[in-house]
Chains A and B, each alone.
Chain A
Amino acid sequence: MKLTKRAIWIGAFDREPFLAAILKTGLVVGVGLLVAGSFWQWQSTGHLQFERPLQGSNILQLLIDACRPASALRWPQRFLHVGISVLILTPYVRILASAWYFGYVERNHRYAMYAGCACLLLTYILLLG
C-alpha cells in the first residue's frame, strides 16, 4: 500500500514531543533572556535593582514598549521584560499548538474545539488591558 505524503508526515510527527519542544523552547528563550538581562544589569550597575516597574496595560504593550528603539527602558530591563513576556506567552502558544495539532494533524474536531475555546479565552485575557 502506497502511503500519502500526509500520512508519512503525520507518522513522523508525534503530539507529545512536539508540544514538549514548544514548552522547552519558550522556557530556554525566556530564562536565557532573564539571565542575560540580570547579568548585564549587575555588570553595569553592581546591583539588581531596576528603575522602572514591570507594568503594561497588556502583554502586547509590554512587548512593544521593550522592543521599540525609542523605549525609555535601559537594555538590561528590556531583556527582562521580553524574557518575562516569553515565559507568560509559552502556555498560550502550547494551547494554540494543541488546537492546531488536534484539528489539522489528528482531525479530532472535538478536542480542537476545546483547545480553540481555551485559546480564544486566553487571547481575550491577554489583550484585556
Chain B
Amino acid sequence: MSFGPLFLVSVLAGVVGSVTGLGGGVVLIPFLTAHGVPIKQAIPLSVLSIIVLSTSAASNYVRGHLANLKISTFLEMFAILGALVGATVTVAVQPALLSALCGGAFVIVSGLLWRQHATTWHPSRMPDRFSRTLRLDGSYYDAVERRTVAYHGTHAALSGPLMFATGVIAGLLGIGSGALTVLIQHAVMDLPPKIAVTTSNLIIGATALAGACVYLEAGLFNLELVVPILLGICAGAIAGSALLVHWSNQFIRRLLLVAIMALGAQILLRWMRGA
C-alpha cells in the first residue's frame, strides 16, 4: 500500500477519532482490511494509532481545560485494570460471540440515545453522594454558546465497574473501548458530550497502552504501515481537536451516535463474515 492514500485515510481517522473520542479504528480497520491487510495486523495498528491520537488530541484538550483530569484519573484506573484482565485471562465466553454482542449493543444503545428528544444538554441537578465526594465537577468555556458551562459527574459508583468491563472488552477484542468510554460518561455520568469526548480521548490512550504491549511482544506491528498511519493520525487529531471547540454539544452528540452506530454495524458485519 502506498504512503499517500494511507496517510490521507489516517488523517481522516484522526479527525473522526478526536471529535468523537472513539479512536481511529472505526475508519482505519475497514480501510486496511479492504486493502488486504489481515485483521490480526489491522487491530494492532489501530491500537497504536489510538495512543498517538490520544496524545495529540488530549494535549490540546487538557491545555484548553476541556478534558477533566479528575474524571479521567478515576475512570482510567478501572479501565486499565480491566484491560489487564481482558488481555491475560482466558474466559469462557467466545471472543466472536462477545464481539457480536458488543456490536449489537453499540447499534441498539446509539439508536435509543438518538431517539431521546432532549435537544440541549442539561447538567444533573443533584449528583449522588459518592460522586460529590469525588468532586467530579468542572466547567469549561463553550465558544458556541459563548458562556461558561458548569457540569457535575454523577453515578460514579456505577461508572467505575462499567469502565472495568470496558477495559476487559478492550483487552479481549482490541476494539470498542472508546465508544464505551464515551457512552459511560455521557449516558451514565451525565457529562456534556464535549467533555465526554475530550476526556475519553485522554483515557483511551492509557487503555490502548495495555493492548499495544501485548501486540508488541507478538510482533504484530507492520512497520511499513506504522509510519504513514501514525503521522496521518497525528495531523488529523490536531486538526480535529481544533474543530471540536467550534461545534455545539448537540452536533457532537449526533456525530458521536452516528460513529458508534457505524462501529457497531462494522463489528457485526465482521462477525457475520467470520473474521
Besides A55-B221, A88-B216, A128-B214, 11 other A-B contacts (C-beta < 8 A): A20-B62, A27-B52, A31-B52, A31-B234, A34-B231, A54-B221, A55-B219, A80-B227, A87-B55, A88-B209, A121-B81
Is B179 located at the chain interface by the 8 A CB criterion? no
- Give the nearest-CB partner of B44 in chain A: A54
On chain A, the number of residues with a Cβ less than 8 Å from chain B's Cβ atoms is: 51
Q: Which residues of B contact A (CB under 8 A)?
A: 3, 48, 51-52, 54-56, 58-60, 62-63, 65, 69-70, 73-74, 76-77, 80-81, 83-84, 134, 205-206, 209-210, 212-214, 216-219, 221, 223-224, 226-227, 230-231, 234
Kindly list chain B residues whose C-beta atoms are within 8 Å of the C-beta of A35: 231
Within 8 A of B (CB), among A48-74: 48-50, 53-59, 62
B69 touches A62 (CB 8 A): no
A7 at the interface (CB under 8 A from B): no
Question: CA separation between A117 and B206, bound complex, in Å?
Answer: 13
The reply to whether B73 and A53 contact each other, CB–CB distance below 8 Å, is no
The DSSP consensus for interface residues of chain B is helix
Task: Indicate with 1 or 0, residue by residue over A75-117, a CB within 8 angstroms of chain B CB atoms.
Answer: 0010010001001101110110010001000000011001101
User: Which residues of A have CB within 8 Å of B63?
Assistant: 16-17, 20
Q: Which 9 A-B pairs have the closest CB atoms?
A: A55-B219, A20-B63, A23-B59, A91-B205, A54-B221, A20-B62, A118-B77, A24-B59, A50-B223
A95-B206 contact in complex given A48-B224, A56-B216, A128-B213, C-beta closer than 8 Å: yes
Given contacts A58-B216, A98-B73, contact A19 B227 (CB under 8 A): no
Task: State whether B3 touches A58 (Cβ < 8 A).
Answer: no
Would A31 and B80 count as touching, CB distance under 8 A?
A: no
